[in-house]
Amino acid sequence: MPERAEIFEVGPRDGLQNEARMIATSDKVALIDHLARAGFARIEVASFVSPKWVPQMADGADVLAGITRMDGVSYAALTPNMRGYAGALAAKASEIAIFASASEGFSKANLNATIEESLARFAEVAEAARADGMPMRAYVSCVTQCPFDGETAPAQVARLVAALRDMGAYEVSLGDTLGHAWPAQVDAMLEAVLQELPAAQLAGHFHDTAGRALENVDVALARGLRVFDGAVGGLGGCPYAPGAAGNVATEALDAHLRKRGFETGLDTEILAQAADMARRLREG
């Protein structure tokens, strides 16, 4: 029987957040509902951040109110602070996510805070989530290199992963935000991180700027990781990482994992339809 690998779909949030053209709430809802029918267990659908900084995500509550919730699907929301957490809780998100940077330069650009300041902010969110029984995932950005600081030391990534683990994150997603990581860099980073958290609680999050995302997935698979973030249609990018391409396309990731002998549980036909929907949203 094939071993299972899971794709965590982040397209509706991490993918669409960087689109310059405002995407209608109804279109986001339709995409999310289609993805749920494809068989995803977890879909990141909203971000409760300041609309001043990420206007594309200003309708998070409306999106969560509009989707047709399917049994067995967790609908996740990004929450950078207590205000965001309160919004996600009120909108009945299934789980939340916090996001830290392994580099000071990116932390200051993306969060307007140092790493230590951001961790203090997240600790408050984590405490509230624990009290409410809300599952919390965590992201770490710039795990191999930063657009401001250059290469990221693996020990620094491991330190941050340990801090997020101690806050109660059930899983930490490791992000090659620029999409330029070489497999050897990913391997060295994972070697350090695995000293702090087992592979079963880690996920790979690879952007495909340099076309090496699937090579880096293979490195992570060899290290025991079985969860990977993908964005349907290859949506995404990052406003604070100029030139970074989208996340690895979910449909390409699904095909790659199947070729490697893993079962993803996704309906390839419905996934292909969702990818077409995502590309049409991007093209307008």
- Spatial distance between the Cα atoms of 181 and 152, rounded to a whole number of angstroms: 11
The catalytic residue positions are 238
Q: For each of the domains in the chain, give its residue range(s) and CATH number, in order of start.
A: 3-283 (3.20.20.70)
- How confident is residue 228, by pLDDT bands cut at 50, 70 and 90? very high
Please check the confidence at residue 245 and state whether its pLDDT lies above 80: no
Phi, psi of 279 (to 5 degrees): -65, -35
- Spatial distance between the Cα atoms of 49 and 111, rounded to a whole number of angstroms: 10
Q: Which pLDDT does position 252 carry in this prediction?
A: 96
Q: For 83-117, write each residue's pLDDT tens digit.
A: 999 999 999 999 999 999 999 999 888 888 899 99
Three-state DSSP class for 34?
Answer: helix
Angle of helix 183-193 versus helix 213-222 axis, rounded to 10? 40
Positions of E strands within 113-222: 136-141, 145-146, 150-151, 171-176, 202-206
Angle of helix 82-90 versus helix 115-132 axis, rounded to 10? 30
